[in-house]
Chains A and B, each alone.
Chain A
Amino acid sequence: MSGNPYQTSPYRTSLRTAADWGLVTLALLTAAALTQPIGIKDGAILSWTADPIALLFLVGSAFSVVGGRTAPTPAKGAWVELGGAAMAWLLPFHLLNEGVDLSRGWGLWLYLIVATVMLWRVLGVLSAVPGWRRSLLVPGLFGLGLLLGWEVLVRGFQIPSVLLPPPSAIAASLVKHAPVLWDDFRQTVLTSVVRGYVMGCGAGFAMAILADRVPFLARGLLPLGNLASAVPVIGIAPIMVMWFGFDWQSKAAVIVVMTFFPMLVNTLAGLQTSERIQMDLMRSYAAGYGTTLVKLRLPNALPFLFNGLKINSTLALIGAIVAEFFGTPVVGMGFRISTEVARMNLDIVWATIVVAAVTGSVFYGGLALLERATTAWHPSMRRR
């Protein structure tokens, strides 16, 4: 650190230098919160002073703000403030356990707004720290915050679970219906999606290689690609079910239709990216078409190939689930959603949605990791 007395080091904050408008806002919001009740218990209004634990939590959060802003480094301060925010988000669970009705506890809701602002600041600080904190902790905390907010809002305002169940109820349903969900997953993802995806992407890739050699194919196919991307999946799904029957074949066919052209278009674009001088080099080595393809053009096309694969991972899952609405053996994620919605069993529908969302994310994330491993050389990947 330089000894310049006119420069405040970001690592040596005193409370005075840290007293910015954010802090003033927090203080005002907290003061406002203190004037409002935290809920209704047995028909009577519950104030902060009536529940010592609530007051304790509030004081704890206040101290964490002070502690966080005077900590030796911003990262350490962030941890302290995170503790304060966590305390705030735990309070509603304590009150709900006590049987308190939170829907008009405006003091509590203001307190939670304060905690959200704190969490915002914490995430801002942590995302400036490179390493696992930025890549894992920040998205993790973000997601956790969303889930907590969802849970507290739904339970606090007593939203009917048919409209929106709290995450805890969905988690319980995931456990309860695990065998059914696993069967659905196996049918939809492991059978239909995997096969359709491999066939669709493989065919698109192969056709791109062919079209690269036979120019009229590219000219003829690319306009068709635009057409195909505009065809609604709702339209082709019933037709494919008529053609290929109820089982996975019709789902795979829908997926092939949806994924073929994105892969074709991306591969073709990727094959065009090699520079003239790189091609000249291959020519000077008297390298043939195949050698040039394998050693130069495909590596150059990798970012495009992954682009196609990633787009298609999402399309394939959507395609399979939607296609199952139009006929399937009595198993599958789309089948489950369509039948259980009709029976008002919303908890299993939500559980299926969670399975689909997690599957899609893992699929996409896996491809993104693979991309990072194989195209680390590419300018767009280097700084990450």
Chain B
Amino acid sequence: MPGDAGPPIVEARGLSLVYQAADKPVFALSEVDLAIHKGDFISLIGPSGCGKTTLLRVIADLERPTSGAITVEGMTPEQARLKRLYGYVFQAPALYPWRTVERNVMLPLEIMGVPKAERQARAADQLANVGLTGFEKKFPWQLSGGMQQRVSIARALALQPDLLLMDEPFGALDEITRDHLNLQLTQLWRRTGKTCVFVTHSIAEAVFLSTRIVVMSPRPGRILDIIDCDALPRERTLDIRESPEFAAIAHRVREGLKEGHSYDD
């Protein structure tokens, strides 16, 4: 497998996380084992509340695991965060309403102390990438929800991180824009050799983008199945979605999801 060389970028072993809610504890993650290698594109898929966001937040050091071990680029998640090794696209746009679109994208660069000219160049680049050229001077509330989410993607990409953590980035987009951005994302990933961890609810999206698909199930949040997509070429085009290999993988993901999905409780 091409991604397997070298130590893993993210390695979790026996990872568990319990939220102490007011009434009873919530077992958001339970005994999660996962190794993500350089150049991997990992999709997390599973029913709502199965801990996808939680897993991403643990990798990003926004949440501390209750037990188990996790390393990011061989460091603790905190060290990785302090070195700004990842870019995070949140489930909601989380734009700052007093900043224009352009200045929102430049925010992380400002904090990192990137010079002004380069900040502007990078922001312009990334806004063009997500199809928002011409909206630089608009304020977030003047944009639709999907456009806001694209701004937040541009903001994460402007950091040029090696590790990209994305929490349902395309959830709020229409099918065509979504296809377009999927294609852009896979090309960017191929070109730059980034490692991506990507949360989605769409089986087609997961299969199209991923090298491996992690199927999760809730209560407690755990990994049911990890599906390799080696049958698909690393170079992805939209028409691979018609291929039998694609259909076979999608079928397996669907079976896995069904297994984890129980409406009894």
Contacts and interface: CB of A to CB of B under 8 A. Distances in A.
Contact of B97 (A283, A285, A287, A377): A377
A378 B97 contact: yes
B117 interface: no
Interface of B: 57, 60-62, 81-84, 86-88, 90, 92, 94, 96-98, 107-108, 110-112, 139, 141
A273 to B, nearest CB: 12
A296 interface: yes
B90 A277 contact: yes
A295 B141 contact: no
Given A286-B82, A296-B96, A377-B98, A280 B108 contact: no
Contact of B81 (A281, A284, A378): A284
By Cβ-Cβ distance, the 8 closest A-B pairs, closest first, are A377-B98, A277-B94, A377-B97, A284-B88, A286-B82, A285-B111, A299-B98, A285-B108
Contact of A283 (B62, B98, B141): B62
Given A281-B94, A286-B81, A295 B110 contact: yes
Given A286-B81, A296-B96, A377 B139 contact: yes
A291 B92 CA distance: 22
28 contacts: A277-B92, A278-B94, A278-B96, A280-B57, A280-B62, A280-B88, A280-B94, A281-B90, A281-B94, A282-B111, A283-B61, A283-B62, A283-B81, A284-B60, A284-B88, A285-B107, A285-B108, A285-B112, A287-B111, A295-B107, A299-B98, A302-B98, A375-B98, A377-B97, A377-B141, A378-B98, A379-B141, A382-B141
A291 B62 CA distance: 18
Contacts of A284: 60, 62, 81, 86-88
Interface of A: 275, 277-278, 280-287, 291, 295-296, 299, 302, 375, 377-379, 382
A378 B139 CA distance: 11
Residue of B81, B82, B87, B96 with most partner-chain A CB within 10 A: B96
Chain A interface mostly helix, strand, loop or mixed?
Answer: helix
Given A285-B84, A286-B84, A299 B96 contact: yes
A328 to B, nearest CB: 43
Nearest to A278: B94
A296 B82 CA distance: 18
Nearest to A299: B98
B41 to A, nearest CB: 20
Contacts of B61: 283
A278 B93 CA distance: 9
* Residue in B87, B108, B139 whose Cβ sees the most chain A Cβ within 10 Å: B108
A280 B112 CA distance: 16
Contacts of B86: 284
B149 to A, nearest CB: 13
Contacts of A280: 57, 62, 88, 90, 94
A299 B94 CA distance: 15
A280 B82 CA distance: 13
A7 B84 CA distance: 65
B89 to A, nearest CB: 10
A380 to B, nearest CB: 12
Contacts of A287: 111
Nearest to A382: B141
Contacts of A296: 96
B119 to A, nearest CB: 14
B96 to A, nearest CB: 7
Given A283-B62, A285-B108, 19 more contacts: A280-B57, A280-B62, A281-B88, A281-B94, A284-B86, A285-B84, A285-B111, A286-B81, A286-B82, A286-B83, A286-B84, A286-B111, A295-B96, A295-B107, A295-B110, A295-B111, A378-B97, A378-B98, A379-B141
A105 to B, nearest CB: 57
Contacts of B92: 277
Contacts of B83: 286
Contacts of A283: 61-62, 81
A276 to B, nearest CB: 9
A275 B107 CA distance: 17
B187 to A, nearest CB: 25
A263 B97 CA distance: 24
A84 B247 CA distance: 81
B228 to A, nearest CB: 30
Given A284-B62, A296-B96, A299-B96, A291 B90 contact: no
Nearest to B152: A281
Contacts of B96: 278, 295-296, 299
Contacts of A382: 141
Most chain B CB inside 10 Å of its own CB: which residue of A278, A302, A375: A278
A283 B92 CA distance: 16
Contacts of B84: 285-286
B185 to A, nearest CB: 19
Nearest to A283: B62
A281 B96 CA distance: 10
Contacts of B112: 285
A275 B108 CA distance: 18
Nearest to A277: B94
A263 B120 CA distance: 37
Nearest to B140: A377
B52 to A, nearest CB: 16
A287 B107 CA distance: 11
A296 B96 CA distance: 8
Contacts of B110: 295
Contacts of A282: 111
